[in-house]
Amino acid sequence: MPFLELTIPCREADQPRHERALESVGALAVTLADAHADAPDEQAIFEPGVGQTPLWDEMELTALFEGGTPPELLLHALTAADEGVDWSRARFREVADQDWERAWMDQYEPLKFGERTWIVPWNHALPDGADAPGSAIVRLDPGLAFGSGTHPTTALCLQWLDRLAGDGALDDVTVLDFGCGSGILALAALKLGARAAVGVDNDPQALTATADNAARNDVGDRLAVYLPEDEPVATYPVVVANILASALVALAAPLAARVAPGGRIALSGILVGQEDEVLAAYSDAFEALVVDRLDDWIRITGTRRATAA
């Protein structure tokens, strides 16, 4: 089906606030490109890599939204999200889904997280060092579902899972990936030693992407995916939730209920400045809460109390 594409010019210094506003109103993907590029081989940046920043002083941000989204209502929502941005400069057009899927894959390069975790596009040769003993290699083709590993929120979760694996905390356990997107975190957990994984997402397209990626990595029989309303009642020793801070706060009670006593949780998708509200929402059910930061994003980890405080 077609999607609605929004393109708006901005300066490098304003790029984070533009992207935050676009994500807050439901952007499925955001790309960056040089506003003055004339060369035929000019390439967009899809989710700048960890530690990387755009190379251009002036750029264009292009965001993808679900087809049928009314542009006028989207502009109203963006103005409410950040009235300091001149959203009237935005341009709209409809695009086919395959245009974005394949363009994403053309730009994606292998990435390493922690000591042993590699995320490699399915059609890319393994980089040097990825075949070392103990390496966990995830072959990924996320299509339009969020989760390539390059965004700081995903990177923070991958680093956490890699560390758990180093401590033996993933050995033979079942992991819940709440808000699974492409399934990247569930797949990484399986490759790092988990016995099984469960992916939950409210987007059917994300569940399809997760199932496809699980089959590509030969772990389809160890990963189950559900819409929230279909998820079976269970508790898990390891839970990771990479969603927006507002959703984390709203879902604090049901997420806590999914973590077994003594189990561990990682909460990501939190912008700097939002961590206090999330900490307050989880402090009764979890102890040893730790805040880690990467760029403008926060990850909170903790251990489930045996009983609520």
pLDDT digits (tens, 9 = 90+) for 21-51: 998 898 877 777 766 554 334 444 333 333 3
For 195-236, the pLDDT digits (tens) are 999 999 988 878 888 898 899 899 999 999 999 999 999 999
Question: Does the structure show a pLDDT above 50 at 142?
Answer: no
Give the start-end residues of each E strand in the chain.
2-11, 29-34, 45-46, 58-65, 91-96, 111-113, 117-121, 136-140, 174-178, 196-200, 223-226, 236-242, 259-271, 286-294, 297-304
For residue 210, count CB atoms less than 10 angstroms from its CB and return exposed for 0-12, middle for 13-18, buried for 19 or more.
buried
Dihedral sign computed on CA atoms, order 204, 207, 213, 216? negative
pLDDT in the model for residue 42 = 41
Question: Does the pLDDT at position 281 exceed 90?
Answer: yes
Residue 149 pLDDT grade (very low, low, confident, very high; cuts 50, 70, 90):
low
pLDDT of residue 202: 87
2-104 is a CATH 3.30.70.120 domain:
yes
pTM greater than the 0.85 cutoff: no
Note the CATH number of domain 108-304: 3.40.50.150
Q: How does the average pLDDT of the chain come out, rounded?
A: 84
Is the pLDDT at 125 greater than 50? The verdict is yes
The letter for the amino acid at 27 is: A
Establish how many alpha carbons lie within 13 A of residue 85's alpha carbon, considering only the half-sphere containing its beta carbon: 26
| Residues 254, 229 contacting (CB under 8 angstroms) | no
Known binding residues for S-adenosyl-L-methionine? 154, 179, 201, 242
- What's the rounded Cα separation, in Å, for the pair 80 and 75? 9
What is the four-CA torsion angle of 63, 66, 70, 72, rounded to 10 degrees? -20
pLDDT of residue 126: 84
pLDDT in tens, 87-96: 999 999 987 7
Phi, psi of 2 (to 5 degrees): -75, 160
pLDDT at 220: 96
What per-residue confidence (pLDDT) applies to 55?
Answer: 44
Are the folds of 2-104 and 108-304 the same?
A: no
pLDDT, mean of residues 263-291: 96
Q: Cα 261 from chain centroid? A: 26
N-to-C CA span, the chain: 49
Question: Rounded mean pLDDT of 226-255?
Answer: 95
Longest dimension (CA), the chain: 61
pLDDT tens track for 252-263: 999 999 999 999
C-alpha torsion sign, points 61, 65, 69, 74: negative
Domain ranges for the chain, please list them: 2-104, 108-304
Average of pLDDT values for 68-97? 90
Distances (CA, A) of 48 to 109, 124, 163, 223: 11, 19, 23, 29
